[in-house]
Every structure is written in structure tokens, then in C-alpha cells.
Structure 1
Amino acid sequence: MKIIKTKDKQLEIGKRTLIMGILNITPDSFSDGGDYYDIDKAINHAKKMIRDGADIIDVGGMSTRPGHEEISVEEEINRVLPVVKRLVKEVDCLISVDTYRWEVALEVLKAGAHIINDVWGLQYDNGEMAKIVGEYKPILVVMHNQNSKEYKEDIMLSMRKFFEKSFMLIDNNNIPRENVFIDPGIGFGKDITLNLEVLRRLGELKDIAPILLGTSRKRFIGTLLGDVPPKERCEGTISTNILSIDKGVEIIRVHDVLEHKKALLVADKIIRG
């Protein structure tokens, strides 16, 4: 077991699998776009996820689904900042923000957020995000990503090289390595075949850092289940998460918190003892 401390909170990893509940403050996310766009609905849903067993709430203000519309930095801040400010005051839970823009990270960290979840692994800009994280020292999630689904070498080798670049930025900006999780970026720069290969071989990455896995309701699961819509992909999502726990996954990022909490109560007893 390991304790990670940040601000007024701490995260204990190793004892059981932790749940990050997804809170999209967007009109166009692939699964729940528009469901929690209203701030009161967002806060109420966050509180429900916490009651259901979420350890972390991950707030996102811009969809990163394939073909998403990029919004302005100002709009992203206007969406997430009021929610973060209220959550910090109203819930006893770690608050994460899903953003790759340093300007957004700066505002939410000043407001009390505990985690920055960067889908570009600190590599979207010229080091500005890394500087902000180095200054505030939140828990950090660096996700693997690329614009193309083509790989000129073994995908796991390519991912390791990507994370090496992320950790160069981490070290150069005095970000504590013990605060860092990696995310294999399922569905980002990967087709269904590559998604499945990465899930099979996740254990090859666990020496880098603890793993956060985000497969919730993703398209490849819908395809495997016979092209079912996002909200009918819960069971498939649970399968991916349970099978990944003994491969280094410490946090799962999900929409369906209660269902995963029940599954983990059994799976963790078997896998972690």
C-alpha cells in the first residue's frame, strides 16, 4: 500500500481498486452529453456517485471524443470552475479535472482541485501545463495519446517512449514521481484491435507508474456487444476493468459507479486478498 498526499486529501493505493466517477459538464460527450450541463444537476450527480462509492470525481468541460468540437479556453473554464468550487466546499472527496490546457488547470488548482487528468500526457503544449503542475503539485494522470491510429513499431514500445517524454517533463518541472499515474488511453489513437492488445498487455506498463484505466462505455465495447448504444455498455466495461486489476490498474474511471463498486467488492477480495 502507498499513501499519496495532496492539499488536504490523501489517496491510498494498493489496498483496493479506487473508483473515479465521470462528471461531464458538456453538451456533446459521447455517452452523457447534456445530462449534467446544468450546475445543480452536475453537483447532484457528483454527490450520487460519491454515495455509490466513488473515491474521486473527474470533472470534464470539453468532450475529447473522436470528432469533438474544440471550445475556447474561456468556455472550458466557465463550465468547470463553478462546479469545482462547489464540489470542493460541499463534498469530502478528491476532485479531478480532465483538461490538457494549462490555463484551465491553473484556475481549477487555485480553486482547490486535487488532480489534473491530462489526456495528452503534458505534451500538448510547450511545457506550460508541466510548469503549472510543478508549481501546485497535484496528483497527475498522464494519458497516452496520438492523432493517428498507425504505429510503426510495437504499440507497447511506442507507448513507453511516449511516457518517457512525459516523465522528462515531470522531472524537469519538479513534479513528484510518486504523485503520477499513467493511463494507456484506450480509444485514443487506437482501433478496436489495438485497444484489445493494450488491455491484454497492460502489465507491461506497470513498472512505469500505477495505472488508471478509462474504458467506460467506449465504442469498442459497444462493437463487441453488437453495436449497442453507450448506456448499454456497463457489463462490458466491468469486464475490462475486473480483468485489468491484477495488471497494475489502481484506479478505474467510470460512468456506472454503483455497478462497479459491487463488482469490485468481490473482485478485490479475490485478486488483492
Structure 2
Amino acid sequence: MQPGTCTLNFNRFSLELGTQTCIMGILNATPDSFSDGGKFNTFETAVEQGIKLVEDGAHILDIGGESARPFAEPVSEQEEIDRVIPVIETLSKQIDIPISIDTIKSGVAREALNAGAVIINDISAFEKDPAMADLAAQRDAPVVLMHMKGTPKTMQMNPDYDNLIFEITSYLASRAAYAMEKGIKKNHIILDPGIGFGKTVEHNLVLINHLEKIIDLGYPVLMGPSRKSFIQNILTQKEQTRIGSDHIKTEYGTLAAVAASILKGAHIVRVHDVEKVKSFTHIIDSIRNA
């Protein structure tokens, strides 16, 4: 095995991580997500977009029913279930890649796993609902554990760290240890440093630039810079014109952040525009592996 490579085996799926960047396609079945809120919040549009992301080359499809944008209000468990379960049930019968459920609620995750999802993506790293860890262990599901300072509603209110890299690395190590204590296999744990979740522009840049510190923990690492506000803020400042989340230049900025993340060792990138990123990663992977 080459350094930084691993195989994620689960259910009927097997993902080779390391030599080829794994692309997680984002499907927000929500009316208020920061980038594409409202575009795919009906059953028909969500299913259509899910199929498109697979056709564009996604290796994992990540489906969420509650926005995690800054200052977002939480939604009820039942509303979240109503948004995502019919979509998961339909897509799981039509696509041949693993589906991930993006939720902090164990009740939603349980229904999603019953409907055909096989991965749990918990941005709270089991802190908001401790029953999530038990569920993942019982169902032998891989998990994504993310660092977030505060909650989506509070995380961007002047986030501050004494030692950014040390604090995030220590937190992720402790949550991974907790997951294993609850019975989750080490090779089923993926870490996400949480780009944009309780971080300033500078924090995000430092985090990407020193990603090897998190890679050194020995787990696959997922990065999600896609269309994040730090990209928009940098471009707006540099170009002295407002660059929004749906601007083509934000997509270019996303590709730059994805490239830096991959070259720093990221195994998985979570993105909106799978088609562009897929072609892009062919080149970046070829350079990295030369």
C-alpha cells in the first residue's frame, strides 16, 4: 500500500482512496442551502439532479435535507425525513454508487439507511445526537466526522482559535477515538476539517495549507471547499466586484481550492459541480502520482 492510500469496504461497495480522488456529489434537497437552495427541493428535481451527478462521475452521492449554511435555522426531524427519504428510496434503486445521508439526527439517519443510504455524514461528529454513533456501529456504516465551531446558526460569529491546526487536529482525533469506543471500525472513519464551519477566510487558507497535519492522523480525509464564502470573499476583494456563489469565477476558485486540497493529501472532495471537478481531478491526480 502506498502512503496515504486505503480501501473503504462496506455493504456491497469498495472505494479505493488515495491514488484517485474520490468525488462526493452534493445534493441539497433544501429550500435554503447557501449555494443551490431551492433548486432541487422537489422530489422530481432532486432525483433528476442525483442521476446527473452520477452520470457526471460522482463516486458518492451526499443527500441532505437541512441547510448547514451560516445562520441557518434548524428544521424538525420529520421535515428532514420528508425531504430526503423519498429521494433516497428512488435513487438507491437507480444508481450504482453509495449514497451518504448528510444529517445530525439519528432518526433521520436510521430512516435513510433503511431507504438505501450506506454512509452517515455527521457535521457535528456525533455531538448533537450521541445515538448516531450507536446507529453507525449497529449498521456497520462508514461515517464522516467533521469539525465545526459552534452550530450553523452561530459558527460565523467571530470564530477564534488559540492554535487553529492543533485544536482542529486534536478535536478530530478525539472524535475518531470516541467513534471506535462506540464500536465503529477504524477503517470506516473519515475525517472532515470543516472548511467554512466556524472559520474565517484566513483560517480556511491555513487549514488547507497545513492539511498534512490532519492527514497524519491516519484516516481518510474529506474536504468540502465547494463554492464556500471564503472563495467568494477573496475574489470579491481581489477583483473589486461582487462575486456570488453562483458566479463562474467562484467555480474557478473552487477548482483551485480542490487542487490545493488534493495536493496536500485529501482523499475525498465534496463538490456541487461534479462534471468540472471530475475532468480537473484527472489532471491533478496524474501530477500527484507522477
Q: Same fold (TM over 0.5)?
A: yes
Kindly indicate whether the alpha-carbon contact (under 8 Å) linking 2:13 and 2:98 is maintained by their aligned counterparts in 1.
yes
Kindly indicate whether the alpha-carbon contact (under 8 Å) linking 2:25 and 2:58 is maintained by their aligned counterparts in 1.
yes
Identical residues among aligned pairs (%): 37
1:247: which partner in 2? Answer: 264
Match of 2:110 among 99, 103, 106: 106
Unaligned runs of 5+ in 2: 237-241
Tell me, yes or no, if structure 1 residue 133 matches structure 2 residue 132.
no
1:120: which partner in 2? Answer: 124
| AA of the residue aligned to 1:163 | L
| AA of the residue aligned to 2:133 | A
Tell me, yes or no, if structure 1 residue 257 matches structure 2 residue 257.
no
Shift of 1:152: 4.5
1:146: which partner in 2? Answer: 149
Kindly indicate whether the alpha-carbon contact (under 8 Å) linking 1:122 and 1:169 is maintained by their aligned counterparts in 2.
no
Q: Distance in 1 between matches of 2:46 and 2:39?
A: 8
1:204: which partner in 2? Answer: 213
Q: Distance in 2 between matches of 1:5 and 1:74?
A: 31
Deviation string, structure 1 residues 55-99 (Cα, Å, up to 9, x no partner): 111001000101112110010011111111111111111101111
1:220: which partner in 2? Answer: 230
Kindly indicate whether the alpha-carbon contact (under 8 Å) linking 1:77 and 1:107 is maintained by their aligned counterparts in 2.
yes
| CA distance 1:229–1:168, change in 2 (3 Å) | same
Question: Please, what TM-score do these two structures have when normalized by structure 2?
Answer: 0.91
Match of 2:284 among 262, 267, 272: 267
Q: Distance in 2 between matches of 1:259 and 1:150?
A: 32
Kindly indicate whether the alpha-carbon contact (under 8 Å) linking 1:25 and 1:60 is maintained by their aligned counterparts in 2.
yes
Kindly indicate whether the alpha-carbon contact (under 8 Å) linking 2:81 and 2:111 is maintained by their aligned counterparts in 1.
yes
Stretches (4+) displaced over 6 A: none
Tell me, yes or no, if structure 1 residue 172 matches structure 2 residue 181.
yes
| AA of the residue aligned to 2:270 | R
Shift of 1:264: 0.8
C-alpha RMSD of the superposition: 1.2
Match of 2:244 among 222, 229, 234: 229
Deviation string, structure 1 residues 159-205 (Cα, Å, up to 9, x no partner): 12211331232121110111111111011011111111111111111
Question: Please, what TM-score do these two structures have when normalized by structure 1?
Answer: 0.96
Q: Distance in 2 between matches of 1:136 and 1:198?
A: 32
Match of 2:90 among 86, 92, 107: 86
1:10: which partner in 2? Answer: 14
Shift of 1:2: 2.6
Shift of 1:134: 0.8
Tell me, yes or no, if structure 1 residue 56 matches structure 2 residue 60.
yes
The total of aligned residue pairs comes to 272
Unaligned runs of 5+ in 1: none
Shift of 1:214: 0.2
